[in-house]
């Protein structure tokens, strides 16, 4: 079963709201804008890169790279550089192909970023093909399911005022969710004020986590972490710059609250350094940046250090969500809660012939062959931009 055709679809979906609720961005003439509190660019579209690989016997596999900005970049890498290396290769040689593609640019310094994003999209598509070929869901090919229902936590409360955040949190609790992660980083006192109000409103047993979006120094993160310990917050995510491994090691050793990180890392080589230095307690690989092959490598590596894995899941669409759930099903050292973006799943489901569901705080793992989902290709092509 040989790879016969590869197509990349950079997707840009215009909505009447933007990710994390910054509606003022819709007034700009450009697609991209900076969020000062998070220091990085966001798009007023929902953007991603979908990849379709077709074999010579007609099996189609879909992959996705997490591409919240300029999805065209990873698409060009796939269509113009990877294609000659992939056409005619055995589609089920997934590990061989991952290493082949990773090797193509590692000597030139491109062993992360857009390059590995492109590898990840191809990797997911090949796993989808393998599942369809062997007539099994991907979790079966990964060794079987520890779970077919995945508990979820709400990621973000994208409203402006503290009162609105509290009210929205109460609504999610009433719908059966047992945990919420808040995207903070507004300054020490404001972050503590917000989390204190949520704890008082939601009660002592409701799960709270925080994502500090790389906004703190080690000293301030220690102070913040201790305040979060007093509020029984379950983990502190990404308070320091991602390259500050020594700082994370110092922070982790200083706090009782677990430190979580990893969404910006893409390979087991990067995660290995965190594990050896004991710079975190929970790893958060994102399948749209790692692919399935690397995510499971990272998971098994983490298990040798007795660390839990809580996959990151932000603006990835249906393929990323389905691939994440397939991995969660097969993950021995799963953290126990999967990130859920309420504003993303409905958009993702618009591209699927049957929806992925998250109800009463529980994701259902798709149980069809491969990823377990079927894409509406007409809609994909309608929203794709040209490379």
Q: Check if the beta carbon of residue 239 is closer than 8 Å to that of residue 228.
A: no
Which pairing describes strands 179-183 and 149-155: parallel, antiparallel, or unpaired?
A: parallel
Q: Which two tokens stand for residue 302?
A: 């983490």
User: What distance in Å separates the CA atoms of residue 65 and residue 77, rounded to the nearest whole number?
Assistant: 12
Among 254, 313, 304, 307, smallest CA distance to 285 is for: 313
User: What distance in Å separates the CA atoms of residue 159 and residue 94, rounded to the nearest whole number?
Assistant: 42
Considering the candidates 183, 268, 312, 383, report the single residue annotated as catalytic. 312
Pick left, alpha or beta for residue 129 (phi over 0 → left; psi -120 to 50 → alpha; otherwise beta): alpha
How many residues can be counted in the chain? Answer: 387
User: Is 17 designated active site?
Assistant: no
The single residue listed with the structure tokens 């990823």 is: 371
The single residue listed with the structure tokens 């004020």 is: 193
Q: Side-chain half-sphere of 319: how many Cα atoms within 13 Å?
A: 32
Catalytic residues: 312
């Amino acid at each position: 079963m040989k790879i016969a055709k590869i197509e990349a679809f950079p997707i840009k979906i215009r909505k009447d709201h933007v990710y994390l609720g910054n509606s003022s961005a819709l007034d700009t003439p450009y697609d991209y804008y900076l969020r000062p509190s998070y220091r990085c660019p966001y798009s007023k579209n929902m953007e991603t890169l979908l990849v379709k690989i077709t074999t010579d016997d007609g099996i189609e596999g879909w992959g996705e790279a997490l591409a919240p900005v300029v999805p065209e970049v990873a698409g060009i890498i796939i269509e113009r550089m990877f294609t000659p290396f992939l056409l005619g290769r055995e589609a089920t040689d997934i590990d061989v192909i991952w290493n082949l593609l990773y090797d193509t640019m590692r000597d030139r310094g491109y062993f992360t970023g857009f390059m590995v994003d492109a590898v990840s999209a191809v990797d997911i598509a090949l796993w989808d093909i393998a599942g369809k070929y062997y007539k099994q869901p991907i979790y079966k090919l990964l060794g079987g399911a520890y779970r077919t229902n995945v508990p979820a936590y709400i990621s973000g409360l994208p409203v402006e005022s503290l009162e609105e955040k509290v009210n929205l949190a109460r609504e999610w609790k009433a719908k059966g969710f047992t945990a919420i992660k808040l995207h903070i980083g507004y300054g020490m006192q404001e972050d503590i004020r917000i989390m204190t109000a949520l704890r008082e409103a939601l009660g002592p047993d409701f799960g709270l986590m925080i994502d500090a979006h790389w906004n703190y120094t080690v000293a301030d993160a220690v102070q913040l972490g201790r305040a979060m310990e007093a509020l029984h917050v379950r983990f502190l995510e990404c308070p320091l710059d991602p390259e500050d491994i020594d700082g994370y090691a110092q922070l982790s050793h200083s706090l009782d609250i677990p430190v979580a990180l990893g969404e910006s890392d893409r390979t087991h080589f990067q995660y290995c350094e965190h594990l050896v230095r004991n710079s975190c307690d929970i790893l958060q690989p994102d399948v749209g940046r790692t692919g399935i092959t690397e995510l499971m490598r990272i998971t098994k590596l983490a298990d040798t250090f007795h660390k839990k894995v809580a996959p990151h899941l932000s603006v990835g669409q249906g393929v990323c969500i389905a691939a994440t759930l397939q991995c969660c099903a097969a993950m021995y050292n799963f953290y126990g809660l999967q990130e859920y973006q309420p504003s993303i799943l409905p958009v993702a489901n618009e591209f699927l012939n049957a929806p992925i569901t998250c109800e009463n705080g529980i994701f259902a793992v798709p149980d069809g062959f491969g990823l377990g989902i079927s894409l509406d290709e007409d809609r994909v092509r309608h929203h794709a931009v040209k490379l």
